[in-house]
Amino acid sequence: MIKKRLNIRMSGLGGQGAVTAAHVMAMAANRDGKFSISNPFFGAEKRMAPAESYCRIGIERIYDRGELVFPDVIEVFHPQVITMGKSYTMPFYSGIKEGGVVIINSDIPLLSEEDIERLRDLNVALFYIPGTQIAIEIAGTELSTNMTMIGSVAGITKCVSMEALDGALQERFGKKFVASGGTASLDEAIKKKFAKKEMLLQKNLATVKRAYEIASEWAEKNKIELQVGNPAVAA
């Protein structure tokens, strides 16, 4: 289904880069000529507490902002979002639209029979990806988990191109970036994991690509057709 707007809700834990992931996705969509907006929601900042971010991508100007109550795609960055209820909603998938997709970073299944049934009733597809493992294998750090989540949603929906993601990552990490003190120290932490900034960009992009390929293959095999239109065609 080609939609006028794709709403992506990213549920993670503080420090995992869910906010950065939504910003990078929106920046990439903007580079692709689509309309996009991203914003985070979190409490007083602390590690491992629930943190959510939202990315809206569409074919016309987007005004809507704030928490995404009715998403097309939900990305779960950490198993504790489900197992310990570290989500802004219970269950974590409440509000998901019919025909949507749930992407979970886990190497083992986490949902109960009842959850699976409720999602099936809504025709929601379920995709597990061992994102943290992939991040450790390719980038050498679990801090790149958010890159696998970016790659997953991009691979399934094709809402942003790999080329635009490359540009967005360079824009975000290639220059000095000041947000809050917390974000600045996290940026420093990730930079220390790589010998050079070019390595950081290169390995993170490789992580995105790997997840993109896995997700793309899964979407093809399962005939997932959740896509957002092209503004040029719409106009």
Partner 1 sequence: MAETKSVIGTQNKKGQTFTDPWKLMNEAPRTPSFFTGSEVIKEAIRRASCDVMIAYPITPQSEAAALIGELFAEGYIGDYFRGESEFAVMSQCAGASFGGARVFTTTAGPGTMRAMENFPMWAGSRLPIQMIVTCRGVNSPLSIQPDTLEISYLLNTGMLVWHAETAQDFFDWILKGYMVSEEPDVHLPLALCCDGFFVTHTKDVVQLTPPEMCLPPYDPYRSPVPCMDMECPPVRMMRDPFVMKSNYISYATHASWQQEIWAAVERSRKHSIHWLNGLIDTENTDADIVIVASGTAVSQGREAIRLLEDEGVRCGLVKVKTLRPWPEEEIREATKNAKHIFVPEFNVTGWLAKEIKATIPNHERVHAGPHVCGGMTMPPEIIVNEIKTALGMKKSFVMAGRGS
Q: Footprint of partner 1 on this chain (CB under 8 A)? A: 23, 26-27, 30, 36-41, 43-44, 63-67, 69-70, 88-90, 94-95, 178-181
Our CB check for partner 1 shows the closer of 66 and 221 to be 66
Instruction: Write down the least CB distance from residue 223 to partner 1, Å.
Output: 28
Which H or E element spans position 204? helix 197-221
- Nearer Cβ to partner 1 (178/235): 178
User: For partner 1, which is the closer residue by CB, 32 or 219?
Assistant: 32
For the stretch 184-201, what's the b/e string if a residue is b when 16 or more beta carbons lie within 10 angstroms of its beta carbon?
A: eebbeebeeebeeeeebb
Least distance in angstroms from the C-beta of 205 to partner 1: 19
Q: At 111, list the tokens.
A: 């949902």
Q: Whole-number minimum distance, CB 128 to partner 1, in Å?
A: 23
- Give 183 or 227: the residue with its C-beta nearer to partner 1: 183
Q: Check if the beta carbon of residue 91 is closer than 8 Å to that of residue 188.
A: no
Angle formed by the axes of helices 197-221 and 131-138, nearest 10°: 140
| In the complex, least distance from residue 148 CB atom to partner 1, rounded to whole angstroms | 21
With tokens 């998901």, the residue in question is 96
Alpha-carbon span 75 to 159, nearest angstrom: 15
